[in-house]
Amino acid sequence: MDTKELLKKVRRLEIKAKGLTKHIFSGEYHSAFKGRGMAFSEVRDYHFGDEVRTIDWNVTARFNEPYVKVFDEERELTVMLIIDVSGSGDFGSTEKTKKDLALELAAVLSFSALSNNDKVGAIFVSDKIEKYIAPSKGKKHALIILRELIELKPESKGTNLDEALKFFRNTQKKRTIAFVISDFMDDNNFIEGLKVSKRRHDMVAIHLLDEAERHLPNVGVIQLYNSETEETTWVNSGSQQAKDAHTSNFNKAQNELFDDFQKSGVDFATISTSEDFIKPLVKLFQRR
């Protein structure tokens, strides 16, 4: 992709993400992800109905009239996007691949953070750390994340999310909101890494799915290619038994994944390449 096309794509993402953030996600995001606590703002005259515990006794004694402390939410947060850039992200049976969907989600989440004056950073991971962008504020920084994700040519096609989670914990010492965006086709034990990360941080999993991975098309004997291992398998998609077995195995793996998320206490949403991501993302925010 040349520079002109890159800038056009980033600009389209910016326009779409800012529109969604303004009209849909801004309030939901703010409500779903709280600040670190409450910070003292000012004192004011006591009003009937104010809680007694908010009375500032030092000021009250000085002026011989009751005054209460007013607190504001400490809003500033740090958001980290942990994005799976392994080979399986190139798959897509519609006009959109899982990689395209991850890019759109990264744009919306980045501009949602931006609209709430939060910092945002990114970790791009295959079976190694491909790129780290430290958290920062501002539109320019959000656009850098999107540009880097578009331009990235991963050195590896494999997946090891636990590597990203270890790197995340080592670099982010303060409480951070982390969105792990992946299809979670990973043979490594990343669930344990999620559990460890959740002890300090707010972990959210966004599971990317293409429905063609669940249901084999009826096109006779086909060759299935694993883009991560570069292995091929021949399957008779015209056989109902083979189709049923494939769907059953896929659903079993998905259910086990969702059970693991629930047991670890990690909020999650599944978003398909064939659907609009707005509804499942809003539902995820509202559940929180």
122 to 31, 63, 222: CA distances (angstroms): 22, 51, 37
Examine the pLDDT at 224 and tell me if it is beyond 70.
Answer: no
Report yes or no: 216 and 242 within 8 Å, Cβ to Cβ.
Answer: yes
Q: How far apart are CA 110 and CA 118, in angstroms?
A: 9
H/E stretch holding 147 = helix 139-151
Confidence of residue 77 (pLDDT cuts 50, 70, 90): confident
Q: Over 80: is that where the pLDDT of 81 sits? A: yes
User: For the chain, which domains are there?
Assistant: 3-31+76-209+267-287 (3.40.50.410), 37-74 (no CATH)
Q: What is the pLDDT of residues 149-192, one digit of tens each?
A: 999 999 999 999 999 999 999 999 888 999 999 999 998 999 99
Predicted pLDDT at 82: 98
* Residue 74 CB-half CA count within 13 A: 7
Residues 266-276: what's their mean pLDDT? 91
% of the chain exceeding 90 in pLDDT: 43
**pLDDT exceeds 60 at position 214:** yes
**Mean per-residue pLDDT, 108-113:** 89
- Which of 127, 142, 132 shows the shortest CA–CA distance to 85? 127
- Please, which pLDDT band fits residue 285 given cuts at 50, 70 and 90? confident
CA atoms within 13 A on the CB side of 269: 19
Q: Is the pLDDT of residue 8 over 90?
A: no
Residue 73: pLDDT over 60? no
Asked if 56 contacts 67 with a C-beta cutoff of 8 angstroms, the reply is yes
- 48 within 8 A of 63, measured Cβ to Cβ: no
CB count in 10 Å sphere of residue 13: 23
pLDDT at 146: 93
pLDDT at 235 over 70: no
Q: Yes or no: say if 34 and 73 are a contact pair by the CB < 8 Å rule.
A: yes
> Which positions ≥6 away from 3 have C-beta within 8 Å?
none
Residues 49-67: pLDDT tens digits?
788 888 889 888 988 889 8
